[in-house]
């Protein structure tokens, strides 16, 4: 279906891939309207694939298309909607994702998320050279010391290795497998599958001469399969702790009730301990204190800043560490993380929710940001929790309730904007409990 769609892109030029006319790997011209037209054009293919005439109705791609259509009609800001649409199209429909990426880059040439989406779309389509170029575009706009830069650099290395592997296989086949060569310009997974089918067909019938010709091909195939199935080595400095990407964190909390417990005297002076412990997931912050009758006893997620020194030894399922400066953040992760104190910790994609995930720069949402607000924003953005409550969030109307060794920490003077956001998103308020879901 993807190749057919690629030939019948209409209303705008096919998004440029590496080697297209003009600058190699340069984005093509596309708009939100182009993305929606292409989405509608591909609906018949999705219906056929589903076999029930319903297409992907109700799925993530349909929801993203509906949101993009709604915002387009209302004249709203489309960047986030285009990114969501492109992400939902992957990996099944890379042409849709590529159009979305190019629409983002037409609006914001320096969008890191746009370049990253373009790279993922080109990789899914099998254009490895174009994907490398797009990842390089992402790197040019990313802090050299950030986790995102390290990940993109690693991806470029992997893509170049895959390019060499594909060329080595084609050279070893020396034209003997046209059905494999026909897949050389498409998705790498299709090329691998064609090669596997070729070997499965030929090896049982091969004589000595053909077996000798196939031996180097088998060796290259086996080497790639071995690397693809080998699990990544753990970082010994984290003592068995696994890193979570944002999607993996989303899966961890999906369908579970969540409460965020503030470090406030409102919580200390209450008696909601049993209520708090009844949630599926309890989130606490920085230098939290436990008084079971008032605060509850359980902590499933500890959200803290990279400069905060307290509670890193408290055993939790997940520890998320927030920080704007990537170098200081990485150093704190290595210096403060306690082996065995957590099963999971967030990677760079979870390092700064508003800035990194939401793309809200300091001029659009001024610093400082509290960990409590960052976490509330992130969980609201992910939108996978049937119940999401903030308990004791009085925005420092009462005194802080922290560990004694953190009593000296100053608190920002103005929480009015955080409070306004929370109350604007609240669906129900009852005493110290603010419900966002």
pLDDT digits (tens, 9 = 90+) for 339-349: 889 999 998 88
In a domain, 154, yes or no: no
pLDDT in the model for residue 342: 93
- The answer to whether residues 87 and 185 belong to one domain is no
Total tally of structural domains belonging to the chain = 3
Q: Is 137 domain-assigned? A: yes
Q: Answer yes or no: do 172 and 54 share one domain.
A: no
* Among 129, 82, 124, 135, CA closest to 105: 82
Q: Which of 345, 152, 147 is nearest to 249 (CA)?
A: 345
Q: For the packed helices 112-125 and 147-173, what is the interaxial angle rounded to 10 degrees? A: 20
Distance CA 175, CA 183 (A): 13
Q: Give yes or no: residues 59 and 135 share one domain.
A: yes
Range of the domain at 424: 242-435
Asked if 281 and 399 sit in the same domain, the reply is yes
| Domain-terminating residue out of 173, 198, 229 | 229
Q: What angle do CA 191, 12, 16 make, to 5 degrees?
A: 40
Considering the domain architecture, whether residues 133 and 165 belong to the same structural domain is answered as no
Q: Mean pLDDT score of the chain, rounded to an integer? A: 83
DSSP 24: T
Q: Are residues 261 and 394 in the same domain?
A: yes
Q: Is residue 109 part of a domain?
A: yes
Phi, psi of 303 (to 5 degrees): -105, 125
Q: Are residues 265 and 135 in the same domain?
A: no
Decide if pLDDT at 146 tops 70. Answer: no
- On whether both 178 and 52 belong to a single domain, the answer is no
pTM of the model: 0.51
pLDDT (tens digit per residue) in 13-72: 444 443 333 344 567 778 899 999 999 888 655 544 443 333 343 478 888 899 999 998
- What CA–CA distance (Å, rounded) separates 142 from 128? 21
Write the pLDDT tens digit of every residue in 209-220: 888 888 888 888
- At 407 the pLDDT is 75
Q: Tell me the two tokens of residue 215.
A: 């031996």
**Is residue 111 in a domain?**
yes
In a domain, 149, yes or no: no
- Note whether 175 and 211 are same-domain residues: yes
Specify if 150 maps to a domain.
no
Sheet of 281-285, strand order: 242-244, 342-346, 316-322, 301-305, 281-285, 258-261, 388-391, 433-435, 428-430
What CATH number should be reported for the domain holding residue 102? Answer: 1.25.40
| DSSP conformational letter for 28 | -
Q: Over 60: is that where the pLDDT of 143 sits?
A: yes
Q: Which of 229, 259, 277 is the last residue of a domain?
A: 229
Task: Examine residue 237 and state whether it is found in any structural domain, yes or no.
Answer: no
Q: Could you report the per-residue pLDDT of 215-262, keeping only the tens digit for each?
A: 888 888 887 776 665 555 555 556 678 888 888 899 899 999 999 999
In a domain, 128, yes or no: yes
């Amino acid at each position: 279906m993807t190749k057919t769609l690629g030939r019948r892109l209409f209303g705008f030029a096919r998004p440029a891939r590496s080697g297209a006319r003009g600058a190699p790997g340069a984005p093509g011209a596309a708009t939100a309207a182009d993305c929606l037209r292409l989405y509608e054009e591909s609906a018949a293919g999705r219906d056929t694939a589903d076999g029930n005439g319903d297409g992907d109705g109700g799925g993530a791609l349909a929801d993203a298309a509906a949101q993009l259509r709604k915002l387009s009609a209302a004249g709203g800001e489309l960047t986030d909607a285009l990114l969501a649409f492109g992400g939902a199209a992957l990996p099944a429909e890379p042409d849709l994702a590529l159009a979305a990426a190019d629409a983002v880059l037409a609006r914001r040439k320096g969008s890191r998320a746009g370049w990253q989406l373009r790279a993922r779309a080109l990789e899914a389509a099998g254009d490895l050279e174009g994907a490398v170029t797009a990842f390089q575009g992402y790197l040019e706009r990313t802090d050299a010391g950030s986790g995102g830069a390290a990940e993109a650099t690693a991806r470029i290395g992997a893509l170049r290795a895959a390019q060499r592997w594909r060329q080595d296989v084609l050279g070893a086949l020396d034209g003997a497998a046209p059905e494999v060569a026909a897949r050389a310009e498409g998705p790498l997974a299709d090329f691998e599958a064609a090669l596997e089918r070729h070997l499965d067909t030929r090896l049982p019938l091969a004589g000595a001469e053909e077996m000798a010709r196939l031996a180097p091909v088998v060796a290259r195939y086996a080497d790639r399969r071995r690397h693809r199935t080998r699990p990544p080595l753990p970082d010994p400095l984290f003592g068995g702790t696994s890193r979570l990407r944002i999607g993996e964190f989303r899966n961890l909390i999906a369908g579970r009730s969540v409460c965020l417990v503030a470090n406030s005297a409102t919580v200390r002076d209450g008696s909601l301990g049993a209520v708090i412990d009844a949630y599926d997931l309890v989130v606490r912050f920085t230098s939290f204190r436990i008084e079971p009758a008032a605060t509850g006893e359980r902590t499933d997620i500890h959200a803290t800043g990279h400069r905060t020194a307290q509670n890193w030894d408290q055993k939790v399922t997940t520890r998320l560490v927030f920080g704007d400066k990537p170098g200081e953040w990485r150093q704190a992760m290595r210096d403060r993380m306690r082996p065995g104190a957590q099963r999971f910790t967030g990677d760079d994609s979870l390092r700064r929710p508003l800035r990194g995930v939401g793309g809200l720069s300091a001029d659009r949402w001024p610093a400082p940001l509290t960990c409590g607000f960052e976490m509330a924003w992130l969980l609201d953005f992910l939108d996978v929790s049937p119940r999401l409550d903030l308990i004791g969030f009085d925005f420092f109307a009462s005194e802080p309730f922290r560990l004694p060794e953190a009593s000296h920490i100053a608190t920002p003077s103005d929480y009015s904007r955080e409070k306004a956001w929370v109350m604007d998103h609240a669906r129900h308020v009852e005493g110290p409990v603010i419900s966002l879901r």
